[in-house]
Structure 1
């Protein structure tokens, strides 16, 4: 971008025949001397990649949204096949709106829904639970010993006698509050999911699975029967459905951006060409994603929006250079080559800064974020071709209308002379290079940074809302979740600790006693609704085998008594341990999965495990391994987010600083460029506190994206300013020169970037709405920070002249004169 300052020195060539086509570097000659081939190559690439883009799938995968290298997640993955139902499950609640579950008509509907769900591909049928399945059993102690059987009578025919048996069996099974609502007006089906579709062998398609739930299960809903569905697969299904609305927002973003570009250029054909080139960049990206095996998920849908906004905003910079040259009388072909010649290196540097801002996300150990980083980096790399090659070549044919050029030159002259609103704004900004204005601006910025730093101390890691925070509070899913929370004693937020022993070691008194001690400790936390474990079942059965005496509600030291209780407990509840009696889950049902709740439960379990775990080679080895269940996996994810944030900051700011150093060749200029980014980051985190947004997987990329894209403004402004200063201009004249030449583009870039994501604020997907608000804030505030802080900081760091006494108004006017004169040349 340093070449901006050289524009007036480039010869005005009105006839392309007078232009030396052998001038310029090799790359310029190859591109512009073969323009037709370049356009044909881009057309061919658009057709081929466009065809591939039509085949890209929209899906999400449970395991790609969790940190695989976390020791807690590794524990879950190691034993998930032995802990069915404690990871990825769907819960379907069937409600009787006109009575209770002991209604023959309701029970028949419940049976049909149970059978429909049982047959949906992807359901782990062997561990599916409902009152209609034999895995759900009752037990009781009689004078002949412990007896039991399936909750649903074998010969159930809907008669009053059979319903009476069912009612009695449900009471004996102890499933009220888990599979049967506390008010007996609904019952639940719990369906663990497989990772792959058994029919296709492919990973489970959550979109198709959710659609089947709607088509086969939700259709039973009417004025008598209510259907409520929760679980990760349903969340993802609803998110994917919401993506359709988000895709419509893309069209709205294109329209808004087109308006901004047109207001800047006042030329229809060049505006259409710029927007078309930006859309082509998105088409290439989607095609490459499909060819590389990537899918669009609720997180990566961010990528096309960003690539469009970045491509359009950078294309506007090319447009700005061509307007300047054509306005001086240069032919459009020559103007395009001049612009390419001046902006190629700076354009590559800016795109590298964007790539770095995204690529650093690879360090986060969450596959979906790594995919986001890689695909966005691929998309920005695509822009090197569409922005740096396609746009200049296309503009060499399309050019700018004469009326648009005349209007642009007239507007610039008015701005340079201070006769327009923008000119008055520019005059106010270049006054910030003076001591009397630079000091209060810098002090004010320090105050804003300090206040933001204090506010951001309250920023929480993880979710801050109940239900599915990815969706709106009034979404169907969250209404279903609220119904289940109200009517069932056990929530879907499960925190699972795995007790690992030697084979048959879970029968030992020492193991069971430790497990029971942890359960009691967890139940003391007000956020824990209840716990279930092998130890609790053994205590219950031991008392039951002793005529129900409360004195025997304990774990016996007598191994023969414990063995008998174990056998009865496992028959009644087969999922409380594995077949070898070496892996046994302790499940804590939490009232919510908010960040503070999950962190507190995690700390309790960690402390207990550290004090009670024994070495694998001990006589009676026992280890408590964290963590499974939805809340346990969320705890591991929160830890990864917290661990990654500092590393991400160091990486994104370090790499951005290095690129600035290479571009500016000045440490002080690099500091000037980075300070506005740091302040915006602090403000963004303070805004998250004020808006009640937690720092989690969905919001973590925002900071890196904001920094990687936000540094462009400094590249625009400081490149011109430093070039002018090195040529001998004063600080004020140099900054005014950069405003006159790039100020409007900086404003346009900020507006088009914001327009690319602001529509997300109305997304049905809440985390996308949050991302849209935060990114819009960062794009606009980075722009304002660069315009306001660059001159003020430059006074202290980039002003080689001795600091004069407080300038007078006349002196200020005089100092601005050279800049205006230079701008008007």
Structure 2
């Protein structure tokens, strides 16, 4: 079986090298085709891709978003620099912004609310009638007396004071929602910030927050992101040029990474996918894998030349033959770890999983096949393009690796590894699901967006909303006194959570109407005692359809209870949802039921719940896939357990670092975590397989470890160093999540390389697993049967 497998591999390698012109021509033509499609891919964020459509919270949100508000509400605060807002210059700006918002792309004009809109009203009563009129519409007060009257009206209106005018009267709030089917984040961002800038100054400060603004910022920084990406590639090329000292060691890895990106982006366009700026770090991570595999082949090619191989073609043939299987095992492991993310029921994650898997699989062609084919054409392979030789420094690190792995220090390194694994694993349990900080984790805390968010949350009840919906069994169910009392009790109960700044429902309106009808006597600040009385209060209130729609539908069958949140941290949302479910369970209602939950907090709660289950599922399936790949490749289940060690170590260390730095598990980090499992073991495949290769030539385990570290380990060290240093440039990004994800990538690369060079060779030397060391008699038979090495496949061998 082993010889047959080896024979097939050798025939495949020989075919590729012999037909290198034809293979290269086909490769170039297909790459040019993919360039055409890749150049036409759209770079944008699609809101629908962010939501788990099957989740009940999202279904409630989709059902009621047009009436009770969606998750893309934008809040604009106009704050007076001196004094209060009751100045004509300040109120003129509030009115102008309110009016001009109707012209913004995709706006839902019925959801533009401020003191300058007709939606906010005051209720007055006289001996003749009850009067409901807008607070400040259509005109701004012109005289001191009118301004004083407006101020008194707002102070006496609990639905306005504290909600749309701050408690200290120094700021006014304008909110606007959008039709989600017409969302264009870049247009909304540009148009609203243009309005804000036009109002800024002249004694007024304008702050703007909301999901369209946040993702508009992401799109705004796409040119910067592309610039950093280009800088990283140039820096990476420079490092490779210095270290490898050859054009082949510089250009071929970059070519492999570039063509992998072209093929995958072209495939994404063919599938009809867009490229989301939020996942560009994933793109760089996979591109790094392609570069890594290519560097291994170039490095092995150089070793073959130095060992005396007489031609580039023979050296390329030997390098491809020796590294094709470990390279393919790494590709298949990475692809399997990536595709499991498709089980997360969020369209963005599914697209990332599909495109990411294609991206990883292209490495098999761009690096594992094309790199040795192109190497076979190298002329004068023994030359160098510059005199600076840093490889002796690398040699010292490799010498240290050999010493640690094969001396008594191996027990020290393994003991320390066990301690680090236990400690980091325990601390990783503190990892947050969802956002870990107030404000947006996509941007730095001192960014304009997060500063604006903090300012608005300080002055008002909260920028983020969630609503529970009471669904009645029939028309007029909302008018039932018990239902109104239930809403009021829910608002009181939820208001005890510090992160909830306020709430709003029809239960806040009717008592105020009843009080006004009784000559403003506070004793009558209560609901009607019957359904009919509450119906009369609604009639006397006399709202138009748009105003009443904020609270209930026209049939008074469904009604919302809206909660305003100061932040959308994962812990805040989980606490709120748990308390809300507890209240509903302990306070059953007649005439209907409560549905959870709409608004930004509602859909974020759905995403967090999916990520929580998806994280466990993705990591478990990725580990299972890795174990299966290793078991099949080495024909023993023990191999799967053995290769789990570097994976578990790199993941526990990375997750514990995320917990320490307050980096939550979100849509941005979930695919990085899944791909990190494959990343954690790729380097080990090359080193361990190098040990097996050497043991087919002799029976000295120590010598085999030393030789493998000096050959395969050199490629690992070069790749890990260049990529780890290069990703450091992403710390310059204005987008916090890009900087943090690059930091996580650097940790994964470092831990993976350290494991491959120090920990795994020590484990091989201490435990000498059968699938690695075999036994002398069977090795001798293998050497007689095949002069070349079957680097992966092979029957189960008995340990010495």
**If the length of structure 2 is used for normalisation, what is the TM-score?**
0.89
* Deviation of the 1:320 alpha carbon: 1.7
Whether contact under 8 Å (1:62, 1:88) holds in the other structure is: no
The answer to whether 1:491 aligns with 2:462 is: yes
Using the alignment, how far apart are the partners of 2:627 and 2:135 within structure 1?
Answer: 67
* Deviation of the 1:118 alpha carbon: 1.0
Which residue number in structure 2 is paired with residue 10 of structure 1? none
The answer to whether 1:732 aligns with 2:677 is: no
Using the alignment, how far apart are the partners of 1:725 and 1:79 within structure 2?
Answer: 68
Which residue number in structure 2 is paired with residue 706 of structure 1? 676
Whether contact under 8 Å (2:88, 2:140) holds in the other structure is: no
Residue correspondence of structure 1 range 93-112 to structure 2 within 5 A: 93-112=77-96
Whether contact under 8 Å (1:260, 1:748) holds in the other structure is: no
Residue correspondence of structure 1 range 299-698 to structure 2 within 5 A: 299-327=278-306, 328-399=308-379, 401-404=381-384, 420-434=392-406, 436-488=408-460, 490-502=461-473, 503-569=475-541, 571=543, 573-574=547-548, 575-613=550-588, 620-698=590-668
Using the alignment, how far apart are the partners of 2:214 and 2:507 within structure 1?
Answer: 33
The answer to whether 1:129 aligns with 2:110 is: no
SS at match of 1:397: coil
Whether contact under 8 Å (2:101, 2:112) holds in the other structure is: no
Match of 2:269 among 290, 299, 304: 290
Q: Which moved more, 1:323-332 or 1:471-480?
A: 323-332
Using the alignment, how far apart are the partners of 1:304 and 1:459 within structure 2?
Answer: 24
Residue correspondence of structure 1 range 63-82 to structure 2 within 5 A: 63-82=48-67
Whether contact under 8 Å (1:613, 1:622) holds in the other structure is: no
> What CA deviation, in whole Å up to 9, does each residue of 1:740-764 have, x standing for no partner?
2201111122224434533222221
* Deviation of the 1:655 alpha carbon: 0.4
Match of 1:167 among 132, 151, 166: 151
Alpha carbons of structure 1 residues 591 and 157: separation in structure 2 relative to 1, 3 Å: closer
The answer to whether 1:116 aligns with 2:100 is: yes
* Deviation of the 1:233 alpha carbon: 0.3
SS at match of 2:278: coil
Whether contact under 8 Å (2:80, 2:203) holds in the other structure is: yes
Which residue number in structure 2 is paired with residue 229 of structure 1? 208
Q: Which moved more, 1:546-555 or 1:566-575?
A: 566-575
Using the alignment, how far apart are the partners of 2:9 and 2:606 within structure 1?
Answer: 55
SS at match of 1:58: coil
Whether contact under 8 Å (2:442, 2:736) holds in the other structure is: yes
Whether contact under 8 Å (1:664, 1:719) holds in the other structure is: no
Using the alignment, how far apart are the partners of 1:398 and 1:586 within structure 2?
Answer: 71
Q: Which moved more, 1:178-187 or 1:684-693?
A: 178-187
Using the alignment, how far apart are the partners of 1:406 and 1:155 within structure 2?
Answer: 76
Whether contact under 8 Å (1:124, 1:193) holds in the other structure is: yes
> What CA deviation, in whole Å up to 9, does each residue of 1:682-720 have, x standing for no partner?
111221222122222222233212111121111101112
Which residue number in structure 2 is paired with residue 807 of structure 1? none
SS at match of 1:126: strand
Using the alignment, how far apart are the partners of 2:753 and 2:341 within structure 1?
Answer: 23
Q: Which moved more, 1:522-531 or 1:775-784?
A: 522-531
Using the alignment, how far apart are the partners of 1:578 and 1:400 within structure 2?
Answer: 80
**If the length of structure 1 is used for normalisation, what is the TM-score?**
0.86
* Deviation of the 1:366 alpha carbon: 2.2
> What CA deviation, in whole Å up to 9, does each residue of 1:650-699 have, x standing for no partner?
11111011111222223333333211211221111221222122222222
> What CA deviation, in whole Å up to 9, does each residue of 1:348-389 have, x standing for no partner?
221111111211211222222222222111211222222133
Using the alignment, how far apart are the partners of 1:27 and 1:223 within structure 2?
Answer: 75
User: Any gaps of 5 or more consecutive residues in structure 1?
Assistant: 7-21, 198-203, 413-419, 615-619, 804-825
Which residue number in structure 1 is paired with residue 74 of structure 2? 90
- Kindly tell me the number of residue pairs found equivalent between the two proteins: 764
Using the alignment, how far apart are the partners of 1:245 and 1:358 within structure 2?
Answer: 27
SS at match of 1:183: coil
Alpha carbons of structure 1 residues 157 and 450: separation in structure 2 relative to 1, 3 Å: closer
Q: Which moved more, 1:115-124 or 1:396-405?
A: 396-405
Q: Which moved more, 1:667-676 or 1:117-126?
A: 667-676
* Deviation of the 1:433 alpha carbon: 4.6
User: Any gaps of 5 or more consecutive residues in structure 2?
Assistant: 774-800
Using the alignment, how far apart are the partners of 1:355 and 1:635 within structure 2?
Answer: 29
* Deviation of the 1:70 alpha carbon: 2.0
The answer to whether 1:152 aligns with 2:132 is: no
Using the alignment, how far apart are the partners of 1:766 and 1:31 within structure 2?
Answer: 44
